[in-house]
Amino acid sequence: MRIAFIGLGIMGSRMAANIQKSHPDLVVYNRSVSKAQELVRKGARLASSPAQAVEGAEVVFTMLSTPAAVREAALGSVEAGGKGARGEEGAQGFLPRMKPNALWVDCSTVNPAFSRQMAAAARERGLRFIDAPVAGSKLPAERGELLFLAGGEAHDLAAVRPILEQMGKKILHLGAAGSGTAMKMVVNLMLGQAMAAFSEAVAFAESLGLERSAVLDTLLGGATAAPFLQAKRSKIESGSYDTEFPLRWMLKDLDLAAQEAAASGAVLLAGSATREAFALALKAGLGDEDFSAIYRLYREGER
């Protein structure tokens, strides 16, 4: 099976490396070439554009940072030859270059309305589409222990499952195209809310005169803290927020959630307060730190 992988960031490079174990000659593309070196050293072929990458591929993976980035890779940019006001097909879009009936698996974290648009754009061209964003960060990506949240046709998911299993330990099928993206958005909403609420609670406890270490012991040892928070403890205690998931991206995900809630009429009381907390943290210059640096919003400054 011929495979293309577009987007070799923190996550994508590790995911591609796991695919490479069974498909050493997969084709890869990344805007910055340096990220591809290790993969190429092991036999991957480097494409010079998304459009070139997908030539002849049966399966195309994308792992990009925003809906706009995915759209540009798939449909091309206005500047590059689009003909309308809204970024219709440009010269470098990969979608028109895909082999008939090939399968596009978008692992990017986007919003469900966007995934459904991409699914329609694929279908229109006789292509198949699955949205399969992942839960898990750098380390699980490296170890092939991601969780895939997939939307699309069951038989398309079945076809690609063996490859997904090289990257993840669990693959959930949530429904039609867009469902994987929807679930991912909800998972990240939970993630952001839990991180902000925990930071707030710890800083509040400190303002009441409690020792931070006792507070962390109590909360992390109890049933009210989400399990992932354990891994953030050392960041909070050291004050060094090595980036696993940038705060800036968390804000982006919360903004996507707000956008979908606008469409579905959902109420996001704590969710929107959490969005504001991250927006304030971004203003405070914490955008490129790990999203757990939201703790600093609550702690810094003095009365």
Binding mask 159-178 for a second copy (x = CB under 8 A): -------------x-xx---
C-alpha span between 125 and 122 (Å, rounded): 5
Binding mask 219-238 for a second copy (x = CB under 8 A): x--xxxxxxx----------
The single residue among 6, 274, 290, 292 that binds a second copy, judged by CB under 8 A, is: 274
Q: Is 297 in the site for a second copy (CB under 8 A)?
A: yes
Nearest CA to 166 among 26, 28, 18, 58? Answer: 18
Verify whether residue 184 is a known catalytic residue.
yes
Binding mask 179-198 for a second copy (x = CB under 8 A): x--xx-xxx-xxx-xx-xxx
C-alpha span between 106 and 173 (Å, rounded): 14
Scanning 8-16, 40-48, 51-59, 216-224 for contacts with a second copy by CB under 8 A, the matching segment is 216-224
126: left (phi over 0), alpha (psi -120 to 50) or beta: left
For a second copy, the closer CB: 16 or 294: 294
Q: How far is the CB of 239 from a second copy (least distance, A)?
A: 17
- Tell me the three state secondary structure of residue 105: strand
Given 35, 138, 170, 184, the catalytic residue = 184
Residue whose pair of structure tokens reads 């995934």 in the numeric block: 115
Q: Using alpha carbons only, give the angle 26, 29, 30 rounded to the nearest 5 degrees.
A: 140
Q: How far is the CB of 184 from a second copy (least distance, A)?
A: 10
Residues between 52 and 71 that touch a second copy (CB under 8 A) = none
C-alpha span between 93 and 50 (Å, rounded): 7
Q: How far is the CB of 32 from a second copy (least distance, A)?
A: 22
Strands 27-29 and 128-131: unpaired
DSSP letter at 111 equals -
Instruction: Just list the catalytic residues.
Output: 184
